[in-house]
């Protein structure tokens, strides 16, 4: 049992084997419910040297001040928008994301949603059980010959691209931070701006962090630029899509379908979800694109390694 002054505090769910590795080496408090009791966290950090979180625990300067002995924040994932990285740097607290550990899981989610949204035939159970036979109503489209449009072309987007190519799709990408001559863009239509990408993509998949520049990047104006019949997938960050504008575009048929795994409000409340009521060809999932048995194992291993290494290094100083 951990003491009331643990060395490592884990506030969200983590692979059990990784937790056991940390517990074997250090006094570790593992309480995945802490994320929903944020006021309890500061007191637990009084003597802690490591904090491990996912995407919902807010690591603010005030929280860091409560854990003045912190040496590392492990992020069970890749996005850092819930962590004040500048405050961590100012306090000499290392930030360790699980870079690359869930890339495959997210890429497979995107491909699965592309197949689902373009085909549009996988939600027929209720009709079939009543004895209906909606065969002609469920004629969908193949992904072969279509264009996968990637907004952002980092590691996960590249995993999506390789799988999309295997299905016969062309690849277009918009990433203003990549040199058009980058070898990773070989065979990719490199779009000058978002408008050009939206005009050519049959599937638009988002792979950008949430920043001031990307908040509501996909708004009503952007959706009006999308190709007729195009679908949208967001497994990146909530807030990148204007949810009210998307709901309106889906109801009007301006966007042919969408899959959202991330939301402006997480967990998605009934009040926030009400905007999507009655939207056709819409898939909503609870931020699980990067969560598979395999990715959880990899993520846990990467973060346990980082935390153990950081604490071992401090012990030798």
Over the stretch 130-140, which tens digit does the pLDDT of each residue have? 999 999 999 99
Distance between CA atoms of residues 77 and 303, nearest Å: 9
For residue 3, give the DSSP letter: -
User: Residue 241 has what DSSP assignment?
Assistant: B
- Asked if residue 175 is part of any domain, the answer here is yes
Residues 130 and 197 grouped into a single domain: yes
Q: Does residue 289 lie within any of the structural domains?
A: no
What percentage of the chain reaches a pLDDT higher than 90?
A: 93
> In this model, does residue 218 exceed pLDDT 70?
yes
Confidence of residue 315 (pLDDT cuts 50, 70, 90): low
The answer to whether position 1 is within a domain reads no
For residues 265-278, give the mean pLDDT: 95
Indicate if 91 and 122 belong to the same structural domain. no
Q: What is the pLDDT, as a whole number, of residue 252? A: 96
Residue 34 counted as domain residue: yes
Q: Are residues 78 and 182 in the same domain?
A: no
Residue 3 falls inside a structural domain = no
Q: Are residues 278 and 187 in the same domain?
A: yes
Q: Are residues 114 and 235 in the same domain?
A: yes
Mean pLDDT within 225-244:
97
Residue 224 lies in a domain: yes
The answer as to whether 181 is a domain residue is yes
Binning the chain into helix, strand and coil, the percentages to the nearest 5 are: 40, 15, 45
Has 266 been annotated as catalytic? yes
Tell me the C-alpha to C-alpha distance, in Å, between residue 28 and each of 20, 47, 71, 122: 9, 12, 15, 44
Domain assignment present for residue 276? The answer is yes
- Which pLDDT does position 307 carry in this prediction? 98
pLDDT band for position 5 (50/70/90)? confident
The C-alpha R_g of the chain, in whole angstroms, comes to: 22
* C-alpha dist (Å) from residue 252 to 211, 220, 306: 29, 12, 48
Domain of residue 26 covers 8-101+294-316
Average pLDDT over residues 86-92: 98
Statement to judge: residues 16 and 26 lie in one domain = yes
- For residues 255 and 192, state if they share a domain: yes
Based on the domain organization, do 73 and 170 belong to the same domain? no
Of 237, 243, 264, 298, the catalytic one is: 237
Q: Is the pLDDT of residue 317 over 70?
A: no
- Predicted confidence band at 184 (pLDDT cuts at 50, 70, 90)? very high
Tell whether 64 and 54 lie within a shared domain: yes
pLDDT in tens, 33-66: 999 999 999 999 999 999 999 999 999 999 999 9
237 flagged as catalytic: yes
Mean pLDDT confidence for 6-12: 98
pLDDT at 284 over 80: yes
CATH number at residue 298: 3.40.50.720
Q: How many domains does the chain have?
A: 2
> Looking at the predicted structure, is the pLDDT value of residue 122 above 90?
no
The verdict on 132 and 276 lying in the same domain is yes
**Per annotation, catalytic residue among 58, 91, 189, 266:** 266
**Residue 12 predicted with pLDDT over 80:** yes
Q: Are 120 and 248 part of one and the same domain?
A: yes
Mean pLDDT, residues 173-195: 94
Looking at the fold, whether 148 and 203 belong to one and the same domain comes out as yes
Pick from 236, 243, 232, 239: nearest CA to 274: 243
- Looking at the predicted structure, is the pLDDT value of residue 149 above 80? yes
Q: How far is CA 57 from CA 41, 42, 148, 305, in A?
A: 10, 12, 33, 21
Candidates 21, 116, 287, 298; catalytic one: 287
């Amino acid at each position: 049992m951990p003491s009331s002054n643990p060395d490592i505090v884990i506030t969200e769910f983590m692979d059990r084997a990784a937790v056991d590795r940390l517990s074997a080496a250090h006094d570790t408090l593992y309480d995945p419910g802490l994320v929903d009791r944020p006021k309890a966290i500061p007191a637990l950090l009084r003597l802690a040297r490591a904090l491990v979180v996912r995407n919902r625990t807010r690591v603010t300067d005030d929280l860091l001040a409560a854990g003045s002995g912190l040496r590392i924040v492990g992020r069970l994932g890749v996005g850092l928008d819930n962590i004040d990285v500048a405050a961590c740097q100012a306090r000499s607290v290392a930030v360790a994301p699980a870079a690359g550990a869930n890339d495959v899981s997210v890429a497979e989610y995107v491909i699965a949603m592309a197949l689902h949204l373009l085909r549009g035939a996988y939600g027929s159970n209720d009709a079939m059980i009543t004895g209906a036979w909606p065969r002609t109503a469920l004629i969908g489209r193949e992904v072969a010959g279509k264009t996968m449009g990637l907004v952002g072309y980092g590691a996960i987007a590249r995993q999506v691209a390789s799988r999309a190519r295997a299905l016969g799709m062309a690849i277009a990408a918009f990433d203003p931070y990549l040199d058009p001559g980058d070898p990773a863009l070989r065979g990719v239509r490199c779009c000058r701006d978002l408008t050009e990408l939206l005009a050519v993509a049959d599937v638009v998949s988002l792979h950008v962090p949430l920043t001031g520049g990307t908040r509501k990047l996909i708004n009503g104006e952007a959706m009006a630029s999308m190709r007729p019949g195009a679908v949208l997938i967001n497994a990146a960050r909530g807030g990148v899509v204007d949810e009210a504008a998307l709901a309106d575009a889906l109801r009007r048929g301006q966007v042919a379908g969408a899959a959202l795994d991330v939301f402006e409000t997480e967990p998605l409340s009934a009040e926030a979800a009400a905007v999507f009521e009655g939207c056709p060809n819409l898939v909503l999932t609870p931020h699980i694109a990067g969560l598979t048995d395999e990715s959880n194992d990899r993520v846990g291993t990467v973060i346990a390694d980082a935390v153990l290494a950081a604490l071992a290094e401090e012990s030798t100083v």
